[in-house]
Amino acid sequence: MANRPLKLGLAGLGTVGAALTRLICARSDDFVARTGRLPEIVAYSARSAGERGLPLGGAHFYPDAREMAAKADIDVFVELIGGASGPAYEAVRAALARGVHVVTANKAMLAAHGLELADMAEKAAVALSFEAAVGGGVPVIKTLREALVGNRIQRVSGILNGTCNFILSKMEAERIPFDVCLKEAQRLGYAEADPTFDIGGFDTAHKLSILAALAFGARIDAEAVSVEGIESITLADLAAADDLGFRIKLLGVAQRTDHGVEQRVHPTMVAKTTPLAQTMGVLNGVTIDGDAVGALTLVGPGAGGDATASAVAADLADIARGVLAPAFGRPVALLAEAERASIQRHEGGYYVRLSVLDRPGSMATIARRMAERTISLESIVQKRASGDANAYVSVVIVTHATTETSIREALALTLEDGVVREKPQVIRIERP
């Protein structure tokens, strides 16, 4: 096998595919020195034929990625198309079915079909590798699957979407509202024309389900992830977080609890002293809590052609060396069926912003409802009263640790009491 070229079939010549093509050309000598094999793109699939100024070296063009996966003389099928199902999924299945290694950056496909594809790879004794699917250039997959094998992982939490992190960072730094920052993210190419998948938290949820499977030796369970996006975050929330010593980040959190594995994605108040709070702009960051290593944080570019191509190249290097490991760290048959922990049983502190009727007794009513649910209040901050009995004032409450059920029930009762004008803003607090 040594010195024989590593023949690649590349599906997708978008930003990442083009970057990978250039990287392979520029780093071929290093790749050979490290692995003993020269990577060579011998086939490619894209929307149209033509090398687009890329060093494809006369690679054979296939109009359909599925045909390339099924017929091309390749060692590795590199899937950079995207999409949970459809051509990408069908092409990956075709490659695995004929015993071809697969490298993919497709988190949506893995979240939906990862176990099936991992089982196919095991039976064919080939690799299903996906370092680029989570964290872009941040090597979090390899870290969880290989570097931390001596640890029992208790918790994984991270900033897994650069679009959301860019928006929240810009809102905080420049005091610009959400909709304006979103338009800027779209102008710069960080957000799609329809940004729902990113800002709604769904992209983060797919990535979190992959990390949870690796961290806990569990079957991937994307439907178990509780998801909230960042659309409701206001400048008032960011200012309050700053006053309290926090920053607001969209976090994906997976952790072991007494009730099972909890998986959740939501805006979170994170202490400014923590590495994740200091991860700004389009960067991604992941903190892994292991019993032997303690807390380990990885930070780096979470998207972009070069960073993602770097992760793809790392997978190709393993395949070139003959390194073959189960996709999710252990054989599919040995992955546990983790019990789902409901978000309603989540325990922690909460930030609550209320629009409260400015009249005597309103705060007493709210405090009573909190006490009825045994919620202890850490602080209450109220803007100066207007003196108008029909006006509303903004009140910020920070609680000590309580349950999701308790805080939601207490707030629902304050709405029924008529002392709160609109749905309260609730943000979970992650303490160091």
Helix (H), strand (E) at residue 413: helix 404-417
For 218, the 3-state DSSP assignment is: strand
The secondary structure of the chain in percent helix, strand, coil, rounded to multiples of 5, reads: 40, 25, 35
Which DSSP string corresponds to 274-290?
Answer: STTTT--TTEEEEEEEE
List, in sequence order, the alpha helices (H) in 188-262. 196-199, 202-216, 235-244
Dihedrals phi, psi of 395, to nearest 5 degrees: -125, 130
362 vs 356: CA distance, rounded Å: 7
Structure-token match 């992955």, residue found: 335
Structure token pair of residue 427: 């943000």
Selecting among 170, 207, 249, 423, the annotated active-site residue is 207
Residue 373 CB-density burial (10 A; 0-12 exposed, 13-18 middle, 19+ buried): middle
129 vs 126: CA distance, rounded Å: 10
103 vs 69: CA distance, rounded Å: 12
Structure token pair of residue 50: 């033509």
Compute the CA torsion angle 326, 329, 333, 335 (nearest 10 deg). -160
Q: Report the DSSP pairing between strands 425-430 and 347-357.
A: antiparallel
Is 207 part of the annotated catalytic residue set? yes
Catalytic positions, written as ranges: 207
